[in-house]
Amino acid sequence: MKQHFTRWLPAIAKTPHRKTALIIAGVAAIGGLAVAPTAIAAPVTTGPHAGAVAAIDLATGKKTEIDPDTGQKVQTVESGQTTGSDKVPATNSNKPSREKLVPHGVQGAQSRIPLDDAQLANAKAIVKAAKETGVGERGAVIGVATSLQESKLYNLGHLGAYNDHDSQGLFQQRPSSGWGAPEQITDPDYAAKAFFTALKNVGGWQDLPLTTAAQTVQVSAFPFAYAQWEEQAADIVQQIW
């Protein structure tokens, strides 16, 4: 599924409302650090390069300027936009319990990233698809964590020279592997439902550790990498469920 999406990559991002040229980032190499349930995944410590910052600003309505007094970068938000964060506003007072979301406890060191509006919209699409496909709260956590690892919750188009084969979308699904046409797997609803359909075919997935369930669907070169996103994925699902 994904072999090398472990570094900041320029990409084409697609939102539900528009297609925007966007340079985004991935995580610095993590897969080689984790080969067993007791391994520790590497936290996210690097940021996007200058070109990525400018493209993300353009796509999300943010604007980065230099403070003339301090010489430091200052980010503002244009009218109608929000900064987004890893703390997602609640939309349902009947939040699922932590026991349902993380029934086996998290494995290894946990990573966390802030979310902008595009990422939040994609997380909501994944949670909606989880409800509609019947995988429930736990399935939603697995889906969000998987997308956090594969694309950082950005809906990626073709990455050109940086692309890992023909992987695209929130889950970096490959048309050549039968996941669908490019226009399908870059549709968040289609991509999420395709992921959950495959997950439901994994015997006993509800009782598996998150990283095992995700890896069975994704077949990644770095099978334990999904584990590091379980805590943030659970927070996201709990708040927007």
The pTM assigned to this predicted structure is 0.66
DSSP assignment of 19-78, as one string?
Answer: EEEEEE---SS-GGG-SSTT--PPPP-----HHHHHHHHHHHTEEEEE-TTT--EEEEE-
Q: What is the mean pLDDT of the chain?
A: 74
Least confident among 18-32, 57-71, 141-155: 18-32
Domain ranges of the chain: 9-240
Mean pLDDT confidence for 71-87: 42
SS3 106: coil
Q: Measured at the alpha carbon of residue 144, what is the angle toward residues 167 and 220, in degrees to the nearest 5?
A: 40
Mean pLDDT confidence for 45-55: 40
Per the document, the length of the chain is: 241
Neighbouring residues of 187: CB distance < 8 A, sequence distance ≥ 6: 169
The pLDDT tens digits of the residues spanning 29-47 come to 333 323 333 333 333 333 3
Mean pLDDT confidence for 177-199: 97
